[in-house]
Structure 1
Amino acid sequence: MRAIIKYGLNDGDIEVRDVPEPELLPGTVLLAARAVGVCGSDVHMWRNNQSWEVATPVIMGHESAGVIAAVGEGVTGWAVGDRVVCETAASICGECALCRTGRYNLCPHREGFGNLRDGAFGELLVAEPRVLHRIPEGVGFAEAAMTEPFAVAYNALVERAQINPGDLVVIQGFGAIGALALQIARLRGAGTIVVLGTNGDTLRLAKAREAGADHVVNVQAEDPAELLRTLGDGLGADVVVDATGVSIALKQGLDLVRPFGSIAKIGWGPQPLGFSLDPLVAKAVTLYGSFSHSWNTWERVLGLFASGRLDPASVIGGEYAIEDWEEAFEAMESGRNIKSVIRMSAD
């Protein structure tokens, strides 16, 4: 089968290869991918500036939607032809305290699709039934492939740093997660949403305004703190969302958040901090790390897709054949696309 492979640990060490089909094991299903979203983490792996462990060679991709092609021995409740999306936790121990309490996304033995286990940028994917969810009627494969990144934003802003109606929310960065965080913030009733970017984010900031941001700020041209002093009571943001992964964004977030406010840190970044965390203490700010998601998160997001309360199609900038993966990645890196989708099959 054809698959997008990260084969080395240098910038650009990715290519499409013919690889053997995976083996269907007892207790698993074989998923025939139809559409797979390109994650910002995939772009980082393309440039080899990721800050997480990667096994090479590995089939990339973890934002998958498709149909069940085969059902292994012992699997019940699933049938060939079922339309499904697949969570990212390819393997967990199932025995630790985190797994037993439903927080398997934090299992210390977790291995994710696309970095430690072969992922979805191939024609077939082996998965355990515990990570499958049915795609609602009326939701297409490309839209369903957006479930994973929306679940990331949902976890951060509903299950972790909760947004309340009327809140002033600052979103740092308008890549994919920033864009999805904006939709979640609106759904939660945020009163004012401010999106921050840099000189390289001209396209992204324009898209943020189109998506409903009340204010957009290029932080290299103007000071967002000055704007925040004119909004509400002038004390700062109720919630700051760090969707950049750049460590210095946390320093900025501490400057912009109001006393007793909260910061949701979603973005990854290997840079050292190099600044004092005293403002975190002085303002009594709550800093929420947010990683991945769990079963209930996926079910909630799929329900919101089905009801039309969330709009996954609005963030898809283009669909690409597997051979055009580099164009899809570059469109996200440059900001032309919020999300790119690799169309694995026309079925």
Structure 2
Amino acid sequence: MKAWQFEGTGRPIALNEIPDPQPGPGEVVIDMRAAGLCHSDVMYMQIGERAMPFLPMTQGHENAGVISAIGEGVTGWEVGDAVGVCPSGVRPPAGMFTPGGFAGKMVAHSADLARVPEGMDWALAALATDAGMTSYHAIIKVGGAREGMKVGVIGYGGLGQVGARAAVLKGAEVHVAETKESVWDLARAAGVSGVVADAAEWAGQSFDLVVDYAGYDTTQRALDAVRRGGTVVQVGLGQPTFTINANTILGKTITGSLGGTVEDIEEVYELLRRGEIQPAYEVIGFEEIGEGLGRLARHEVTGRLVARIGD
């Protein structure tokens, strides 16, 4: 089968021919149908050899497809089942530490599978496994967004668009900070109460919660926005280091959120199925994955980029 593989820092991702995978105990093989492209893919290509346990590495951690083979000891799943794969579950994250879904097939642990609703678009099924799960988990499960809260969302990209809408659905008053004015109308259509270009404009406005999906040294602006007793949830890692003023932490909570659970994915699937979350995304062909990662690195993508794979 063909697979897009990272071969080393400074080298473009390569389309290689590799053997079809086989399932081990507790595992399944998935015939890929769609795989989302993520800024994390670009980040891992930049740090490459310092993070990945082996090279070449088949990338792709936002995956959905159809079970085509089942390993010993797997129960509750059958060949032909439509599934999404949780990238932060039992098996080390695909595309970073184990072979991912930028390929015709991939292996996943059965405990990491989420059931895809019948008829769901494969692109939505894929993007929900990371962009959906990670954003939803951060703002709902970690941040606790709910009715009566004033919530800030920094970054209205692939993650922020889902997180902001999830908080709106919970009844929160949601505000968005996003430098790309071309997506402001999308944010307003999702029900947010206000949009600004820079979260610095929120300073002193007593937010209960700010979730930073960008991570471009924006954490200080989040801390300046939340009230005493408020919470900042850090998700985005646009830069490797952040600078904050120590005294602005006092009386506030700052925490990180990484990934989520199969339950989170299935909750997002239900919101997508009902049309309550309608994320912006663009579908590309499998052969366009290399070019797509370049577009992500140059910040040329609105919403999420998802590759169609297979039938």
Alignment partners' CA distance in 2, 1:339 and 1:176: 5
Identity of aligned residues (%): 30
Match 1:268 to one of 231, 234, 237: 237
- Relative distance call for 1:206 and 1:54 in structure 2 (3 A) is farther
- Relative distance call for 1:52 and 1:210 in structure 2 (3 A) is farther
Superposition map of 1:2-13 within 5 A: 2-10=2-10, 12-13=11-12
Tell me the equivalent position of 1:328.
292
SS at match of 1:253: helix
Tell me the equivalent position of 2:192.
213
Report how many residues are paired. Answer: 308
Decide which moves more: 138-147 or 37-46.
Answer: 37-46
SS at match of 2:159: helix
Whether 2:222 is the aligned partner of 1:253: answer yes
Asked whether the 8 Å contact 2:35–2:123 carries over to 1, the reply is yes
Asked whether the 8 Å contact 1:26–1:73 carries over to 2, the reply is yes
- Relative distance call for 1:39 and 1:272 in structure 2 (3 A) is closer
Whether 2:104 is the aligned partner of 1:123: answer yes
Asked whether the 8 Å contact 2:8–2:49 carries over to 1, the reply is no
Asked whether the 8 Å contact 1:331–1:340 carries over to 2, the reply is no
SS at match of 2:195: strand
Q: How much does 1:276 deviate? A: 2.3
Per-residue CA deviations over 1:265-288 (Å, capped at 9, x if unaligned) read 11125543343221111xx11112
Q: How much does 1:328 deviate? A: 2.6
SS at match of 1:112: coil
Superposition map of 1:24-43 within 5 A: 24-43=23-42
Whether 2:283 is the aligned partner of 1:319: answer yes
SS at match of 1:122: coil
Superposition map of 1:113-152 within 5 A: 113-148=94-129, 149-152=131-134
Q: How much does 1:160 deviate? A: 0.8
- Relative distance call for 1:257 and 1:89 in structure 2 (3 A) is closer
SS at match of 2:19: coil
Tell me the equivalent position of 2:302.
337
Per-residue CA deviations over 1:182-217 (Å, capped at 9, x if unaligned) read 1111111112x222133xx23344543444333222
- Structure 1: segments with no counterpart, 5+ residues: 93-110, 230-234
One-letter amino acid matched to 1:264: V
Alignment partners' CA distance in 2, 1:279 and 1:34: 46
- Relative distance call for 1:267 and 1:280 in structure 2 (3 A) is same
Whether 2:209 is the aligned partner of 1:239: answer yes
SS at match of 2:144: coil
TM-score (norm 1): 0.81
SS at match of 1:224: helix
SS at match of 1:291: coil
- Relative distance call for 1:331 and 1:206 in structure 2 (3 A) is farther
One-letter amino acid matched to 1:58: M
One-letter amino acid matched to 1:82: D
Per-residue CA deviations over 1:261-308 (Å, capped at 9, x if unaligned) read 111111125543343221111xx1111211111232223222323333
Tell me the equivalent position of 1:293.
260
Superposition map of 1:178-193 within 5 A: 178-191=160-173, 193=174
RMSD: 2.3
- Relative distance call for 1:208 and 1:135 in structure 2 (3 A) is same
Asked whether the 8 Å contact 2:135–2:162 carries over to 1, the reply is yes
Tell me the equivalent position of 1:96.
none
- Structure 2: segments with no counterpart, 5+ residues: none
Tell me the equivalent position of 1:97.
none
Alignment partners' CA distance in 1, 2:223 and 2:165: 23
Q: How much does 1:69 deviate? A: 0.9
Alignment partners' CA distance in 2, 1:304 and 1:58: 33
Tell me the equivalent position of 1:195.
176
Whether 2:201 is the aligned partner of 1:224: answer yes
Alignment partners' CA distance in 1, 2:146 and 2:106: 39
Alignment partners' CA distance in 2, 1:71 and 1:29: 4
One-letter amino acid matched to 1:343: R
Tell me the equivalent position of 1:172.
154
Asked whether the 8 Å contact 1:90–1:117 carries over to 2, the reply is no
One-letter amino acid matched to 1:288: T
- Relative distance call for 1:40 and 1:50 in structure 2 (3 A) is farther
Tell me the equivalent position of 1:303.
270
Alignment partners' CA distance in 2, 1:158 and 1:267: 16
Asked whether the 8 Å contact 1:163–1:185 carries over to 2, the reply is yes
Tell me the equivalent position of 1:99.
none
Q: How much does 1:27 deviate? A: 2.8
Alignment partners' CA distance in 2, 1:288 and 1:52: 25
